[in-house]
Each structure stands twice: as C-alpha cells, then as structure tokens.
Chain A
Amino acid sequence: MAGAAAVGGSVRSETYASARNWLLLPSWAVLGIFVLAPVAMMLVYSFLTKEFRGGVIWEFTLAAYDQFFFDRGLFGDEPAKIEWTYILIFWRSIWQAGLATVLALLIGFPTAYFIATRPAHTRTVWVFLITIPYWVNLLIRTVSMKFLLRDQGPLNDFLLWTGLIDDPIRIINTNAAVQIGLFYSYLPFMVLPIYASVERYNFALSEAAADLYADKWTTLRRIVIPSVRPGIVAGCILVFVPSLGAFLAPDLLGGAKNFMIGSLIEEQFKGNAGNWPFGAAASMILLTLVLIILVFLARQQARAEREATP
C-alpha cells in the first residue's frame, strides 16, 4: 500500500529517452493484462446474471447490486426494503478496521517518535526491527496470534500465573481477537510513515515552545502532532485500508460470527454455493471505498507539500 507516495522521485535523466517505450512495454503489458484488465472484467461481471454452479450467464442485470442494498422478499415480488445484512457486514468491517487503526496509532506514534529521536546510527537498526515482522508471512503471523490467544494458550497461562485473572478469558472468536489480529498485522505500516515525518520535524520548534513556557504535553499536542500530521494520516490509512479488506485475521481469529467483507467476498467464489456477480459487486464496492480514501490521502499530501514549500 505504501507505493502511491513512494513511487516517483526527483532525479531525472534522459540517457534512455529514445528506448523509453520499449523499456516500459513489458510492465505495461503484464500489469495491463493481468491487473488492469481483470479489474475491468470484474466490473463487467458484477452486472451479469449468476450461474448456479459458480460463474456467470452473459445477461446484463443490476441484480447483484440490488441484492446488496435491497430486500425484495423470497420471490423478489415484495416492495423493496433496505437489506441490512451486507451493509452491516461492511459497517462491521469499517468499525473493526477503525478500532485496529486507533490501537495501532496509540502504540505506533510513541514508538515512531522514540525511534526518530535516537542517535542517527541506531535509528536504522530500530527501523529494521520494526520492518522485519512485516516481511514474515502474514498467514504464519496470524496463526501465531491464534496460538497465543487460545483459551489454554500462552497469554492466558501468563495471566493466570500472574494472578490477574482466576479463569482463562475467552479472546479467540471474539471481535477483540479480530481487532488484535488486524492491529498486529499492520502495526509496522503505522510506525514507518510517522517515523519519516518526525525525523524531518524541526525540534527547534519544540525548544521555542518550551522557551515560551509551554509544558511538554502541550508542545506535543499543539506543535509536534500538527507538524507531523501527514505522517499520521498516511499511517492511519495504511493500517485502515488493508484491515478493511483483510481475510486472514477475521477468518482465523474471529470465527463465523465475526464476518467481515473479505470473508463475504471469498464465500462467493468457493465451492458451488457462490454467486460470482454478487462477489464482483461487493469487490467493486470495497474498491470504490478504498479509492475514495486513497484520493483523500493524495490530496492531504499534496496540501502538506504546498504548505511546506511556500
């Protein structure tokens, strides 16, 4: 997800301008055919009629979107009511992803700030320590979390041993387990952009605030946080967006009752009970949501850059 801001750059040269189209052709072809065209195809499929054993019939219909938003009774002949099932699943996903983001911000901001105020030569080591878990297989990390949170798992053993609790607490298959899982999955995404912002922050501003008798927490609230806001916004989006469409954490940690968008979509394409156009429509709605958030991010960052270069 970090690509939008990171791709591009300032150093430009024209050494290979004449070969440019040939050099770019392979990436255009592969990404155009296997990423862009499939997304377009998915849009088309979301308007087709479902085939009962999976797949589609080539007849144009709005049925998938209609099914998502409206309830017309078992035979489709009753007056349309709002269908809450899928809207609630989307709402639950937004809520879960939001809580995971808040949790990540609460831990991630102090961590990023702390790392950015270390001596320059140790900073890269800290950053590396934060980065490593991101590169470890997400499935393995989620399975590890499942193992840790079990009723008779190490976390409960530890809490029983310390005497904080008398009976094992049930965490797995609850909403809290999903939030913890999402938070754990994407925590590095919160730390890294905030770190990048704090590292560029001019600490003379903090000193000036202290000279003017601001206490430290006021300085943090009124000076530091507004200055590093682009990093905070980027971090929140980088945690929120993948959490929204996550499949592994809700599936492995949440159980059947804590269904999120990812599982709803996956279900439409598994086995014979699926409804491909409906799955495609749900994917389109998710993609639209994400694109709106990313456009918001791009505009925020453009504004921050304009403010930084008067």
Chain B
Amino acid sequence: MSARGDVRTYSGFRAMTLVCLVVLYSPLIIVTVYSFNASRSITVWEGLSLQWYADVFWGPESGKFKQAAINSFSIALIAATMSTAIATSAATGIVRGGRFRLRTASLGLISLPLMVPEIVTAVATLIFFNFIGFTRGYLTILVAHIAFCIPFAYLPIQARMQGIEDTFEQAAQDLYATKAQAFRRVLLPMMMPGIIAGFLLAFIVSLDDFIITNFVKGAGVETLPTAIFGSVKQGIKPNIMAISTMLLVVSIAMVTISYVVSKKDSST
C-alpha cells in the first residue's frame, strides 16, 4: 500500500492546494476582519468595533440600504419560488417523460442562461423590454431573475429525481392513486431535498446578480449589489465592508444548508 501511495502523490501538490485555498479565502477573510475596524480610515487598524454595522442600520445611508435589501430579498424570494416551481415541472417532464423528440432541445433551452455570457443576456433582456415597451423597474428585474434562475434550480432537482426509481409512483398508481396524487403524495416528498437545494441555489444566484440587474433595473430602483457597486465607485468605505460581510454570511449559510440537505438524503 505504501508503494502505491508513493506513485499517486506528488510533492508540492499539497502546497499548491494550500495556495489555492489561501487565494480563495484571504480576500474574504480580510474584508470580514476590516468590517470590525474601529477606525474611520480603511488603511489603519484601530481595534474592534461594531460601529460600521450600526452605521449600515442607522447611519445616514441606512434608508438607501434598507430599500435595496427589501428589493433584493423580495426579488430573490419570488424569483427562487417561481423558478423552482418551473424547474420541478420541467424536470418531471424530462426525467419521467420517456423518449421524445424535443428532449435535447428542451435541455438546451434550460441550460441556455448558463451558456450565454451574462453581459449578453443582460443586453438582450434590456433590448427586449425596450422593444415591447415595458418600463424598467422592479418588475423587469423580477422577470429577468425568474428566467436566469431556472437552470440553477433545475440541476439539483434533476439530479435528485434521477436517483429515484419510478417503481414508487407506479406502486401508488397500482393502488388507484391518480397521476397527480402519485406525484404530490409520493414523488414530490421524495424529491424534496433536491427541490430545497435548487431553491436555495436559485435564491443565492438571484441575490448575487449584478450585471443583468444593472441593465434592466431602470432609474431609482436598486438592489444590494447595484447599491454596493454605486458606493464602491466612490471608494471602498467601511460600511460597505460591513454589508458585504453580512451578505457573505447569508450566502455561505444557504450553500451550507443546501449541501447538508442534499448530503443527508443521499446517505439514506
């Protein structure tokens, strides 16, 4: 065994992995640390303080951030719910629909937002709303988010459904359940971990989006990323680091939940 381990491992690869993790995490850790800085200046460290968090909630810009947070979270909640429902329905059609001619085309259409560069989707969506005469604002952001969140919700749902044998639904139908009942009472509960994971991923993707939102938002409507971007253009201020840290915690928490939910289930 030891000789075999020798053949497999390369000295230096462990160090490179460490470099990789340091690169990935150090900017995030540093911003988190500096968000607790007591100094007004971002260059000097003057000890721990929560003042920039207080500034986010009660400071001069708190109104702007509050409105942006309400927009961001309500859009993420509605977009994730809608796209998860659409993705669940599509996954059922594709995984449980047998062979059919439009299968590849449907899969291509679903993965389209992943393949087209985000800036191109943004331009196209802006042009489309302009063409049909839709005024840019909250609603245009919401609609665009529902569309591009679909593939992110779809992937874990499809993966989960492919792991479920169809004998369960068939047994239900043999016991005189209708197709709809078999879906709702048997298939849907078994798919739940995939659906939750898909919902959470769609939620984060919507919450994080900057480029598409920036194109379709119109004047006056801001989400957290567009508000942060506007602020950063005038230089990085400590309160931006505090908001960033809070958003970072939300994202990491949701990914962790999504990971735990889908893991827990694959072990049973």
Residues of A whose CB lies within 8 Å of any CB of B are: 1-4, 6-24, 26-28, 30-32, 34-39, 41-42, 45, 55, 107-108, 110-111, 113-115, 117, 124, 126, 128-133, 135-141, 143-148, 152-154, 184, 187-188, 191, 203, 206-207, 210, 216, 219-220, 241-242, 244-245, 247-248, 252, 261-262, 265-266, 269, 276, 279-280, 283, 286-287, 290-291, 294
Contact = CB atoms under 8 A, between A and B. Distances in A.
Nearest to B99: A12
A117 B86 CA distance: 39
Where chain B touches its partner, the secondary structure class is: helix
Contacts of B51: none
A191 B20 contact: yes
Contacts of B124: 35, 38-39, 41-42, 283
Nearest to A268: B123
A310 to B, nearest CB: 25
A252 B254 CA distance: 27
B135 to A, nearest CB: 14
Given A16-B97, A137-B225, A4 B115 contact: yes
A147 B251 contact: no
B210 A138 contact: yes
Nearest to B255: A135
Contacts of A291: 115
Nearest to A40: B124
B264 interface: no
A279 B124 CA distance: 10
B17 to A, nearest CB: 4
B236 A143 contact: yes
Contacts of A143: 31, 228, 232, 236, 240, 244
A10 B94 CA distance: 11
Contact of A11 (B20, B95, B259): B95
Given A143-B31, A187-B20, A28 B109 contact: yes
14 contacts: A2-B114, A3-B114, A13-B95, A15-B166, A27-B87, A38-B124, A42-B120, A42-B123, A135-B252, A136-B208, A140-B228, A187-B24, A269-B123, A290-B120
Interface stretch (B2-10, B52-60, B61-69): B2-10
Given A8-B107, A34-B144, A133 B25 contact: yes
- Residue among B93, B115, B124, B131 with the most chain A CB within 10 A? B124
